[in-house]
Chains A and B, each alone.
Chain A
Amino acid sequence: MMKRNKEMTKAVSLVPDSAFVPCKPGETEAEPPLPRALSFLEDSWRKLRRNKAAVVTMILLLVIAALAFLAPVIAPFDPNEQHLSWKNLPPKWPHVSIDGLNGTTLFRGRRVDSYALAKVPEGQYFLFGTDEFGRDLLSRCLWGTRISLMIALVAALLDLSIGIAYGLFSGMKGGRWDHVLQRILEILSGIPSLVLVVLMLLIFEPGISSIILAMTISSWIPMARVVRAETLKIKQMEYVQAARALGATDAKIALSHVLPNISGIVIVRAMFSIPSAIFFETFLSFLGVGMKIPNASIGTLLNGGYKVFRLYPYQMFIPAVILCVIMLSFNLFADGLRDVFDPKMKEG
């Protein structure tokens, strides 16, 4: 390495000093001022704005997230507060008289005002109805979305950190380290993640943190693969070689040269991992090994609604619609982000 550096210095000094002539003032034309360079974020935002679906879903997601995180403030009821005499009330909206939203149910072919039957005071509305324990479904949906989103965000963040660390290390080290680490990944990816997650959940105490942990155990693997592949690619770049020639350590190169250059792809992957985390949470709770009742999450709401869906379909449909809207928005938004950050990447 030292020898090569010396040779390079020699090569530079081969140009004689006399070849450099100072220029006189006014001799060169002034260059036109460059337009201000756009920062990474500004540029991405400009591109993202062009994608209508991405913008709409982004706004939608922001609204949903705001509603969910404000749940303690805006929820009309305590999500676990039971009113046994008001159980299974259909949705009722103020000033709306469409069947299904006016608090009536079909009973032996006739519309019956369930609210009057349950002696609910006038002016009391349950926008999403109530469940089998008389709990307000709107409040439960708000709290449930909050918990599901929280689980998904934390799980995605964990995937991201573990995947990046593993992938960067494997890619930067190369050689034998890389070989061993990749074989480990290969074996781990042969384990069906769902089965693994279920097994982990059986062992841990059920709860938010164990769901997150169980999901992370299997879902960081694709992220690690992508990061490693990109690291290997970027390692070959000339600017990385230049940095190395200047004596930068592996850690320094990984953090300040490789990481910024793969951030786009990493962001896109992370966005895709959020909906899959939401899916896992609802799936596990629906199976009955996820969130434990009475805690509300989208999965437990679906589970509860499914048990009575032949009699009270709204209890199943409302959480199902919320879930679909969230999943669809995340996927569409992630698609938009992919077009911005990684236009070369093929779909799939």
Chain B
Amino acid sequence: MKRWSLYIGRRLLHMVLTIGIIASVTFFLMNALPGTPYNNQDRLTAAQLDMLNRKYGFDQPLLQRYVSYLKNILHGDFGISLQFSDQPVSMLLSQRIGPSMQLGLQAVVFGTAMGVLLGVLAAMHQNRFLDVFCSLFAITGRSVPNFVVAVLLQYIFAVALNWLPIGLWNDGFRSTVLPTLALSISPMAESCRFIRTEMVEVLSSDYIELARAKGMSEIRIAFSHGLRNALIPLITVLGPMTVSLMTGSLVVENIFAIPGIGEQFTKSILSNDYYTIMAVTILFSALLVTVIFLTDILYQIIDPRIRAEGAK
């Protein structure tokens, strides 16, 4: 037990360290960026530039700004946005985190649920039509980038058929359908493939044979005996899944004009909005590191064999 808590402590320390390093690296990278964050920099005179720099504190020495930046982050202050009329970045992002979270959650839940279902069906019909179909689907889902899927969905269901809104976030659930579908393709493909491999293994084990001998129906065997054991390792792919969702959200949110974090990030990249870029980078990294940490811990709690190894 002591080793276990030591392990968690070490991992937590790593997490903090990682986020700290990322914050520092982005800070210095931002300062190495060419150009200024001011939209109309060509028309500014030297005196005006000077005044602006003083206003935003860009005239102070780099190291001093670095220290005060880190200090402010600890207080939850990410500076002010240089593009959106001097709003605090933390406020800007907290307004936008809702849509992103909703989309991400919907995509993960829908994607894994469908993926697990398809994976189980494929394993039950191993090497038959349904299996081939599912593996084709999985490899297509892995190969086709989600922004292509997003654009195709948008064209088919919004432009050609006119069933669903083409974008924006003003039609309640209806406007979340297409982006969720586009984002859920990759978790769906990933979990389908994963569950199929696990299920094929589980379904050939002795206790399944026993259940079969007792006359249980195939569906009951697959879902209540097999799936339970095949689901555990799925936790390990949750981390990579979150990453792919984050990447996806950057451009999918753009395509559907959703007021989320990803869209904010692309906007701030194209306009050198230092503080927003830094804040989103730190947010994304923190999210990623936390998800990886949580999945590792969760996996070890569920599977004692791994815990013994990890504590070593």
Contacts and interface: CB of A to CB of B under 8 A. Distances in A.
A130 interface: no
B245 to A, nearest CB: 11
Nearest to A202: B33
Contact of A190 (B29, B194, B237, B285): B285
Contacts of B145: 279, 282-283, 323, 327
Interface residues of B, number: 49
B54 to A, nearest CB: 25
B151 A332 contact: no
Interface in B30-55: 32-34
Contacts of B289: 190
B197 A346 contact: yes
Contacts of B280: 195
Given A202-B269, A287-B254, A313-B155, A275 B143 contact: yes
B139 A348 contact: no
B277 A199 contact: yes
Contact of B148 (A193, A323, A335): A323
Contacts of A200: 29
Interface string A47-66: 00000000000000000000
B243 interface: yes
Contact of A288 (B19, B237, B270): B270
A194 interface: yes
B159 A310 contact: yes
Q: Which of B15, B237, B269 has its CB near the most chain A CB atoms (within 10 A)?
A: B269
B140 interface: yes
A197 to B, nearest CB: 10
A187 interface: yes
Interface string A308-348: 01100100100010011001101110010000000000111
Q: Which of B247, B254, B265, B280 has its CB near the most chain A CB atoms (within 10 A)?
A: B247
B62 interface: no
Interface in A32-87: none
A214 to B, nearest CB: 12
Given A194-B250, A327-B144, A348 B194 contact: yes
B250 A324 contact: no
B254 A187 contact: no
A237 interface: no
A283 B247 CA distance: 9
Given A192-B288, A194-B250, A348-B193, A324 B143 contact: yes
Interface string B146-159: 01100110010001
A286 B26 contact: no
A99 interface: no
A202 B272 CA distance: 9
Q: Which of A187, A203, A282 has its CB near the most chain B CB atoms (within 10 A)?
A: A187
B143 A327 contact: yes
Contacts of B270: 288-289
Contacts of B269: 198, 202, 287, 289
A202 B270 CA distance: 9
A187 B24 CA distance: 13
A302 interface: yes
Interface in B222-261: 237, 243, 246-247, 250-251, 254-255
B131 to A, nearest CB: 13
B182 interface: no
B205 interface: no
Contacts of B272: 202
Interface string B271-287: 01000010011001100
Contact of A331 (B142, B159, B194): B142
A93 to B, nearest CB: 23
A324 B142 CA distance: 10
Contact of B285 (A192, A275, A283, A287): A192
A207 B47 CA distance: 34
Given A195-B284, A282-B145, A309-B155, A190 B33 contact: no
Q: Which of B143, B152, B237 has its CB near the most chain A CB atoms (within 10 A)?
A: B143
Given A190-B288, A190-B289, A275-B143, A287 B29 contact: no
A348 B281 CA distance: 28
Contacts of A186: 14, 18
A327 B243 CA distance: 19
B243 A348 contact: no
Contacts of B306: none
Interface in A260-296: 275, 279, 282-283, 286-289
13 contacts: A186-B18, A191-B285, A199-B277, A279-B145, A320-B151, A324-B140, A327-B143, A327-B144, A328-B140, A328-B143, A347-B197, A348-B194, A348-B197
Shortest 6 CB-CB contacts between residues of A and residues of B: A327-B143, A190-B18, A328-B143, A190-B289, A194-B247, A347-B197
Interface of B: 14-15, 17-19, 21-22, 25-26, 29, 32-34, 139-140, 142-145, 147-148, 151-152, 155, 159, 193-194, 197, 237, 243, 246-247, 250-251, 254-255, 265-266, 269-270, 272, 277, 280-281, 284-285, 288-289, 292
Interface of A: 183, 186-187, 190-195, 198-200, 202-203, 275, 279, 282-283, 286-289, 302, 306, 309-310, 313, 316, 320, 323-324, 327-328, 330-332, 335, 346-348
Given A287-B250, A313-B155, A328-B139, 20 more contacts: A186-B18, A190-B288, A191-B18, A192-B246, A192-B281, A194-B250, A195-B280, A195-B285, A198-B269, A199-B277, A199-B281, A202-B29, A283-B247, A283-B251, A309-B159, A323-B148, A332-B139, A335-B139, A347-B194, A348-B193
